[in-house]
Structure formats: structure tokens, C-alpha cells
């Protein structure tokens, strides 16, 4: 007997998502939410959407989970070989160009928006936005995913050039938290990855530790149980 | 001193193969084209001083023939395609570049544009040609990117402006960059001018259209060579023409009528810029995809100059704007 299929068992895995990357003085910070959905069901509430490409370059993935994974797997494979031949760490621009080539040459098949960010000694911290279609743009900061719609106004006002690492990290966490507050396809925890000359640092900002916004309330024991 | 660009073709990257820049020019930029397998052998890339290649050059490499082992196991007959003349072409070639994930699938699709630029304007004036475009990259109805440069120089005599899908414009620019480099390497005292580039782009756009796989752009090409001013358009379906004043998209409806009234062949630079700015302002008011941040390209016999992005002064203080519904409440 076949199990009944419903919309949410058949729907493709999609990372509704909010992703972003910000360049600061000395490196970059990548940030993402952690929700993966199949239709309306949350298939994974603690996904890691920030994927490593090389020691010094990372990738934020959004859109179709499968498409973004396949692109990141190929690019990691290419860069692995490239680094061996080159004899030193590959540049962020090279990583971005490879991601762009895959996105552009396969634009009719792929549905994934990507952000490549990292640090190299030639350009310092760099952020490259590669949206649907395969356009590649170097930007001081980039956002992506369905949750990014809610951040245009906020970042128009809140982003400033030449931020320190602390300021940039606070901005990333607050932005993703705001997007999670309004976008049903984004949720869970906020993961951040800092990449600079010294190396890489991963941070985990738990969902219940994120700032609360309009109409959200802090957890407390049930009013019916209060003595 | 202009750095010379040298192209090396590595046909077979073997064990311990050494690819050395043979140019005597101490300042040179080496561009590699790969034909064949890129293996994990001892290949070294060095410039004319024996130093290892600047990795930034990798970013400029032509990947259209890069064949990663294991990338597509079904493509055993790739080498037989070498006979066909267009197999190496980055845009015209069959779309089984090494970055094609599904080479067996048909590549003839009409796509949809994702990140788009709006109008480009162009006019001839007394001493040359001017092109203008704003710096917006829209994503549907969202103005997602506000600093996209949509005017790019091609060689020393021409500027290309594009509306439509930005990724396709980036691919066209990459292709023209390679064309200009090959042209430079002939070292025959000739260089591709606006007439040649216009014809070339027309061929590219029309042939892509015939394959139901268009480059989703409307292109404006302006240039001056040997004192001759040139201004032309190529669209995504291969329609092409030249004129004294041109526009793409919304510009055709809003700017061309103004050009028809006010354009003269003997406009000075100041008058021509004023005319363009008048039209760009109208487009900012009336085109939802436009932003108030523009670039103007000026091409004369002396060369190409593209301004930094700048904004125009807008005017909202018309009396009629203050209380438009006073006489008819509920109207707009």
C-alpha cells in the first residue's frame, strides 16, 4: 500500500532563507538563518547554509537546497584542485567567478541565489553577490533569499561604510533576526562566520537569545500556573 | 606603457609542463586558454620573469574549454567537435561549456530576465557621441542594485551600453574583451572600430535568437574612429540600425520625442549634455525602474571618457502638486 502523498511530502526542499554578507575593515562576516522547508513543513530547523569553499572563502546558499548544494560541491572540487596547482590560497574573486560561471551557464536549470565572501591578501575582505541569472557584482554588503525583501529599508538606513567587526556582526545578527520575524520561510538560529587574515570563526546565536521585536513577547511560565 | 596581453594556448598539460610567457615586454598580462584536461600534474605557470602567475589572471581566464575530469562522463566525443569553427566561441559555441551541468538536455530555451537595467540613451553631437544610462539593476519590481555600471568601453574607440539582463551584458563584455585582445595581437596597425563591433554584435544577437536562446539585452553602441561618428542599436531579436539619436526601452517613448524636437547635428558638448540630462530626468520621473544616479560616456576622436555616477536636481515644487484633490475629493 502506497503512503498517501501530500503537498508537503512532494514539495522540493527549498531554503526560503535569509542570507547576508558584510565587508568590514579587515574581513567579512557571513550570516544566515537555519530554516529549510518542504512546502509548509520545516524539514530542518537547524540547517547550516554557510558552506565552506576553501580555507578562506565561504558561500551563503539560498533558493533550491539541491541546486545550491550541487553548485557548492562543484566549486569546492574545482577550488581544491586549483589551490593545489596554484600553491597558495585561491582568491575570493576566483571562487566567485567559478560560482558565477555555473550559475550563468545553467541559468535555465538552476534556482539558487548565492553570496560568495572571504578574505585574500590581494583584495582583503570581499563580498560577491550572485543572484538568479548569474550576474556577479562585488558589493560592500549583499543580501539574499526570501527574507531579504524585509531588509532593504532597514539596511538602507542602518548600513554604514567602514564598520568594525563588532558593529558588522551586530548588524548581521539584527538583520537576520528582523527577517526571521516577518518571513515565514526563515527561522531558527542565526549562524555567523567571520573570515579574516587570522582565519575563520563560526558563531551560533540561538533562536531564543535573539532580540525581540514588535508584537513578540518573552517566554514565561503560564499565567494559569502563577501562585 | 600599455601592458601587452599575451595569450598562450595549452593544448596538452602534461607532467612537469612549464608554460612560460614568451613576451619580452616586462609588464605583461598572461591570459591562459585551456584546451584539454586540467590535471593535477606538475604544471607551473610563470610570467616572463619566471615568477609564478598572478592568481588574479585566473579570474580572467576563458573557461569555455576548461574540462574538469569527471565533470560530464557522457561527453567523450568533445574532441571531435574541434573541427567545427564555433566550438571555441564563448557565446556562439554550443552551450556545452565545461560548466554545463546537463549537456544532454536541449539548450534552446527562451529565458526570463532576472536582474535588469532600464533605458540607455545615445546622441551624436558636434565633436562626437554621448551615451547615458542610470546605474540601477532591478529584480522584478525591486530596485535591488543601485550601482551597476551599464556603460563599458570597448577598445579605445567605442562604448557599449546595455539594457536588459545584466548577466548577459557581463557575458557580452567578457566576449568583447577577448575579441579586442585577439585584435590587438594581430599587431597590424588596425583596431576594431564601432562599425565592426556593431556588426559583430548583430551577428551574435541574431544567431542566438535563431536558436531560441537569446541574450536578453538591447545594446547601444557609440564610437568615433578616424573622425567618423557612429551610433547604433542591436536588440535581443537581432534588429539593428544606426541613427543620430537612439534609445532603448522606455527611452524610446519618453526621450526620442524630445530628441526629435531639440536635436541638431551641431550641438556643443554642453548643449548635448543638457539635452541628455533633460531626458534622463524625465525618465527618472516616469520610469519606475530608474534611479537618480547616472553615468554619461563621451566618445571623441581623442578617446573614451565615462563619468563617475552623479545625480540630477529634481523639481517637486509645482503648485499643482500641493493639493491636487482640493477641487475633487477622492480623485488623484
Q: Is the dihedral of CA B84, B90, B95, B100 positive or negative?
A: positive
For B52, which of A84, A87, A110 is closest by C-beta distance?
Answer: A87
Compare CB distances from A81 to B40, B59, B144 and report the shortest one's residue. Answer: B40
How far A145 CA sits from the closest chain B CA (Å)? Answer: 12
Higher-confidence position of A98 and B81: A98
Chain A residues within an 8 Å CB radius of B139? 131
| Cβ contact A136:A123 at 8 Å | no
B11 pLDDT above the threshold of 90: no
Q: Pick the more confident residue, B102 or A198.
A: A198
pLDDT at B133 over 90: yes
pLDDT the model gives residue A20:
98
Q: State the pLDDT at residue A14.
A: 60
Residue of A nearest to B148 (CA): A137
Share of chain B above pLDDT 90, in %: 63
What digits encode the pLDDT tens for the residues A118-163? 999 999 999 999 999 999 999 999 999 999 999 999 999 999 999 9
Per the CB < 8 A criterion, the answer to whether A111 and A101 are in contact is no
Per-residue model confidence as pLDDT tens digits over A83-113: 999 999 999 999 999 999 999 999 999 999 9
- DSSP state letter for B195: H
Flag if A94 and B170 touch (Cβ within 8 Å).
no
Q: Do the chains contact at B58 and A135, CB–CB below 8 Å?
A: no
Q: What is the pLDDT of residue A226?
A: 62
Instruction: Please state, for a pLDDT cut of 90, what percent of chain A lies above it.
Output: 84
* Cβ-defined contact of A91 to B43 (cutoff 8 Å): no
Cβ-Cβ contacts under 8 Å for B25 (sequence gap 6 or more) = B3, B4, B48
C-beta separation of B177 from B322 below 8 A: no
Residue in the block written with cell 575579441: B179
Q: What pLDDT score was predicted for residue B89?
A: 61
Q: What is the mean pLDDT of residues B260-283?
A: 98
Which whole number is the average pLDDT over B100-120? 81
Interchain proximity A136–B170, CB inside 8 Å:
yes
Where residue B163 falls (left for φ over 0; alpha for ψ -120 to 50; beta otherwise) is beta
pLDDT in tens, A18-58: 999 999 999 999 999 999 988 888 999 999 999 999 999 99
Instruction: Output the nine-digit C-alpha cell for B109.
Output: 530555451
Chain B residue numbers with beta carbons less than 8 Å from the beta carbon of A74 are: 71, 101
Tens-place pLDDT, residues A195-220: 999 999 999 999 888 889 988 889 99
pLDDT of residue B39: 35
pLDDT digits (tens, 9 = 90+) for A76-89: 999 999 999 999 99
Closest chain A C-alpha to B327 CA, distance in angstroms: 35
Residue A10: pLDDT over 70 = no
Mean pLDDT of B61-74: 43
- Grid coordinates representing A140 are 560592500
- CA–CA gap between residue B298 and residue B305 (Å, rounded): 5
B137, B148, B167 ranked by CB distance to A104: nearest: B167
Nearest Cβ partner of B55 from A94, A134, A135?
A: A94
Partner-chain contact B99 A137, CB within 8 Å: no
Which cell numbers in the block locate residue B213?
536562446
Would you say B168 and B216 are in contact if contact means Cβ atoms under 8 Å apart?
yes
Distance between CA atoms of residues B26 and A13, nearest Å: 53
Core vs surface per residue B46-66: b (16+ CB within 10 A) or e:
ebbeeeebebeebbbbbbbbb
CA distance B37 to B35: 7
Tell me which of A40-49, A59-68, B244-253, B323-332 is least confident: B323-332
List chain A residues with CB under 8 Å of B113.
133
The C-alpha atoms of residue B249 and residue B233 are separated, in whole angstroms, by: 12
Give the mean model confidence (pLDDT) for residues A157-173: 97
Residues B223-241 have a mean pLDDT of 98
User: Would the CB atoms of B170 and A135 count as touching at under 8 Å?
Assistant: yes
pLDDT at B14 over 80: no
> Chain A closest CA to B266's CA: distance in Å?
39
The DSSP annotation for B119-146 comes to -EEEEEETTEEEEEEE--EEETTEEEES
**Digit-coded pLDDT (tens) for B171-218:** 999 999 999 999 999 999 999 999 999 999 999 999 999 999 999 999
User: For position A184, what pLDDT does the model report?
Assistant: 92
Q: Residue A183: pLDDT above 70?
A: yes
Rounded CA-CA distance B191/B180 in Å is 8
Q: Give the rounded percent of residues in chain B with a pLDDT score beyond 70.
A: 69
pTM over 0.90? The answer is no
Encode pLDDT of B139-177 as tens digits. 999 999 999 999 999 999 999 999 999 999 999 999 999
What is the pLDDT of chain B when averaged over all its residues?
A: 80
- Residue A227: pLDDT band with limits 50, 70, 90: low
- pLDDT at A225 (0 to 100): 84
Is pLDDT larger for residue A200 or for residue B78?
Answer: A200
The reported pLDDT for the residue numbered A7 is 59
Q: Residue A196: what pLDDT?
A: 97
Query: d(Cα B267, Cα A216) in Å, to the nearest integer?
Result: 62
Fold for A4-145+161-212, please state it. Answer: 3.60.20
Task: Give the active site residues of B.
Answer: 110
DSSP tag of B73: T
Give, rounded to a whole angstrom, the gap between the first and last alpha carbons of chain A.
53
pLDDT band at B47 (very low <50, low <70, confident <90, very high): very low
pLDDT for residue A5: 60
Amino acid at each position: 500500500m502506497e503512503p498517501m502523498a501530500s503537498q508537503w511530502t512532494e514539495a522540493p526542499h527549498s531554503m526560503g532563507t535569509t542570507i547576508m554578507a558584510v565587508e568590514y575593515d579587515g574581513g567579512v562576516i557571513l550570516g544566515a538563518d537555519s530554516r529549510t522547508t518542504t512546502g509548509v513543513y520545516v524539514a530542518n530547523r537547524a540547517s547550516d547554509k554557510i558552506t565552506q569553499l576553501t580555507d578562506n572563502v565561504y558561500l551563503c546558499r539560498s533558493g533550491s537546497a539541491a541546486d545550491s548544494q550541487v553548485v557548492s560541491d562543484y566549486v569546492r572540487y574545482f577550488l581544491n584542485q586549483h589551490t593545489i596547482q596554484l600553491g597558495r590560497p585561491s582568491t575570493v574573486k576566483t571562487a566567485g567567478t567559478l560560482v558565477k560561471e555555473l550559475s550563468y551557464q545553467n541559468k535555465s536549470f538552476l534556482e539558487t541565489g548565492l553570496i560568495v565572501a572571504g578574505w585574500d591578501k590581494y583584495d582583503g575582505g570581499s563580498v560577491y553577490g550572485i543572484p538568479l541569472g548569474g550576474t556577479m557584482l562585488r558589493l560592500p554588503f549583499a543580501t539574499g533569499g526570501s527574507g531579504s525583501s524585509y531588509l532593504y529599508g532597514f539596511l538602507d538606513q542602518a548600513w554604514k561604510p567602514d564598520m568594525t567587526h563588532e558593529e558588522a556582526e551586530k548588524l548581521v545578527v539584527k538583520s537576520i533576526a528582523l527577517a526571521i520575524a516577518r518571513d515565514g520561510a526563515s527561522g531558527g538560529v542565526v549562524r555567523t562566520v567571520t573570515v579574516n587574515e587570522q582565519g575563520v570563526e563560526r558563531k551560533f546565536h540561538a533562536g531564543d537569545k535573539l532580540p525581540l521585536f514588535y508584537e513578540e513577547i518573552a517566554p514565561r511560565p503560564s499565567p494559569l500556573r502563577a501562585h | 606603457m600599455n601592458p601587452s596581453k599575451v595569450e598562450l594556448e595549452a593544448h596538452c598539460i602534461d607532467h612537469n609542463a612549464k608554460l612560460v610567457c614568451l613576451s619580452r615586454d616586462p609588464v605583461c598580462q598572461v591570459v591562459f586558454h585551456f584546451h584539454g584536461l586540467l590535471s593535477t600534474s606538475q604544471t607551473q605557470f610563470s610570467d616572463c620573469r619566471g615568477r609564478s602567475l598572478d592568481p588574479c589572471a585566473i579570474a580572467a581566464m576563458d573557461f569555455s574549454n576548461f574540462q574538469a575530469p569527471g565533470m560530464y562522463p557522457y561527453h567523450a566525443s568533445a574532441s571531435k567537435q574541434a573541427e567545427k569553427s564555433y566550438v571555441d566561441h564563448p557565446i556562439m559555441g554550443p552551450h556545452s561549456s565545461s560548466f554545463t551541468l546537463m549537456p544532454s538536455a536541449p539548450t534552446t530555451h527562451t529565458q526570463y530576465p532576472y536582474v535588469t537595467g532600464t533605458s540607455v540613451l545615445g546622441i551624436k553631437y558636434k565633436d562626437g557621441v554621448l551615451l547615458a544610462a542610470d546605474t540601477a539593476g532591478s529584480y522584478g519590481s525591486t530596485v535591488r542594485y543601485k550601482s551597476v555600471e551599464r556603460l563599458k568601453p570597448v577598445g579605445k574607440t567605442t562604448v557599449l551600453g546595455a539594457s536588459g539582463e545584466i548577466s548577459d551584458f557581463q557575458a557580452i563584455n567578457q566576449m568583447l574583451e577577448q575579441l579586442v585582445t585577439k585584435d590587438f595581437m594581430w599587431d597590424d596597425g588596425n583596431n576594431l572600430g564601432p562599425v565592426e563591433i556593431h556588426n559583430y554584435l548583430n551577428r551574435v544577437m541574431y544567431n542566438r535568437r535563431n536558436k531560441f536562446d537569446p541574450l536578453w539585452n538591447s545594446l547601444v553602441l557609440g564610437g568615433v574612429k578616424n573622425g567618423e561618428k557612429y551610433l547604433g542599436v542591436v536588440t535581443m531579436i537581432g534588429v539593428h540600425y544606426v541613427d543620430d539619436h537612439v534609445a532603448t526601452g522606455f527611452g524610446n517613448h519618453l526621450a526620442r520625442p524630445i530628441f526629435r524636437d531639440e536635436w541638431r547635428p551641431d550641438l556643443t558638448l554642453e548643449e548635448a549634455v543638457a539635452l541628455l540630462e533633460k531626458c534622463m530626468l524625465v525618465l527618472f520621473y516616469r520610469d519606475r525602474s530608474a534611479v537618480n544616479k547616472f553615468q554619461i560616456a563621451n566618445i571623441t576622436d581623442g578617446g573614451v571618457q565615462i563619468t563617475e555616477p552623479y545625480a540630477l536636481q529634481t523639481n517637486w515644487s509645482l503648485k499643482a502638486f500641493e493639493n491636487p484633490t482640493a477641487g475633487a475629493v477622492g480623485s488623484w
